[in-house]
Amino acid sequence: MDSGVMRHEEPDISGAPVGRRIFLGLVVAGAAGILGGGAIQKGLSAVMGPIGNHDPTGLIGLIPLGNNFRFYSVTTGAPRKDENSYELTVGGLVDTPRTLRLQDLRAMPQTSLVRDFQCVTGWRVPEVPWSGVRLSDVLDSVSPTAEATAVRFTSFDGTYTESLTMEQARRDDVIVALTMLDGPVKHDHGGPVRLYVAPMYGYKSLKWLGGIELTSEVVPGYWEPRGYSIDAWVGESNGRDDDATS
């Protein structure tokens, strides 16, 4: 199975038939979605994978695997894209708008970093390896105009958006990620290309990156009218982050 899909960590309910545990897993996933502000967790495959195929005891779900990302998507998914179909449009307040394909991004200087991934709802994956192109290099390649002071990101899921100030976007720990967990960014994690904003909560790390637009002001992203901070520095919680450690 996809090693990136989370295992639910509820203890086994002894004697309960598998079907009931799947049902409970979905209820828990649903409740987590409500508590987390409505994010839909793809509970079905996450629960059915390990229990249905490989984990009749339910014990694997209790082992900390270190890469226990949870799948988050506010949509039911996104189209699958590969080197033939993937395009990243970079435009807005720039002199030379561009459309970058996967091979264009791969040909640019790559940077690697190992950082924790922290969702504002409290889960955290330590020391995740990432690599890709610095967002600042992508921005430089389109020559932003003097009016460009912020960056807006759109997802090819058709719904999710995010934003950063130009100063935030130019940090060297903000990348257009091509790899994650030592391999290409998997579809469920927002592949083939997602944003990774290391110093901020996970909701800034937009998955299925399709567009980068230079703007004259910060346009609040998907979650911000729904209660999350526009500046999402890890540690400055929104009151939802019970176990932030940095």
Residues at the interface with ligand MTE (CB under 6 A) = 39, 69-74, 119, 155, 157, 160, 189-190, 202-203, 205-208
Residue 69 interacts with, from ligand MTE, Mo ion, none (CB under 5-8 Å by kind)? ligand MTE
Q: Closer to ligand MTE by CB, 18 or 244: give it.
A: 244
Q: How far is the CB of 207 from Mo ion (least distance, A)?
A: 11
What distance in Å separates the CA atoms of residue 200 and residue 145, rounded to the nearest whole number? 26
Options 46, 74, 119, 133; binder of Mo ion; rule CB under 5 A: 119
How many other CB atoms are found less than 10 A from the CB of residue 106? 13
* Token pair 């009016």: residue: 147
Cα four-point dihedral sign 53, 54, 58, 64: negative
Q: DSSP character for 226?
A: G
Residue 74 interacts with, from Mo ion, ligand MTE, none (CB under 5-8 Å by kind)? ligand MTE
Q: Closer to ligand MTE by CB, 100 or 232: give it.
A: 232
Residue 17 buriedness (CB in 10 A; 0-12 / 13-18 / 19+): exposed
Q: Closer to ligand MTE by CB, 58 or 202: give it.
A: 202
What distance in Å separates the CA atoms of residue 31 and residue 37, rounded to the nearest whole number? 10
Residue 130 interacts with, from ligand MTE, Mo ion, none (CB under 5-8 Å by kind)? none
Three-state secondary structure of 100-158: ECHHHHHHCCCEEEEEEEECCCCCEEEEEEEEEEEHHHHHHCCCECCCCCEEEEEECCC
Residue 137 interacts with, from Mo ion, ligand MTE, none (CB under 5-8 Å by kind)? none
Q: Closer to ligand MTE by CB, 119 or 218: give it.
A: 119
Residue 63 buriedness (CB in 10 A; 0-12 / 13-18 / 19+): exposed
- Within 203-242, the residues that bind Mo ion by CB under 5 A are 203
User: For residue 201, what are the CA distances in angstroms to 38, 188, 222, 223?
Assistant: 16, 18, 14, 12
Binding characters for Mo ion, 190-209, by CB under 5 A (x = yes): ------------xx------
Q: How far is the CB of 118 from Mo ion (least distance, A)?
A: 8
Residue 118 interacts with, from Mo ion, ligand MTE, none (CB under 5-8 Å by kind)? none
User: Which tokens hold the place of 9?
Assistant: 């960590």
Q: Closer to ligand MTE by CB, 71 or 130: give it.
A: 71
The piece of 2-10, 112-120, 187-195, 219-227 that touches Mo ion (CB under 5 A) is 112-120
Cα four-point dihedral sign 66, 174, 92, 220: positive
Q: How far is the CB of 228 from ligand MTE (least distance, A)?
A: 8
Binding site for Mo ion (CB under 5 A): 119, 202-203
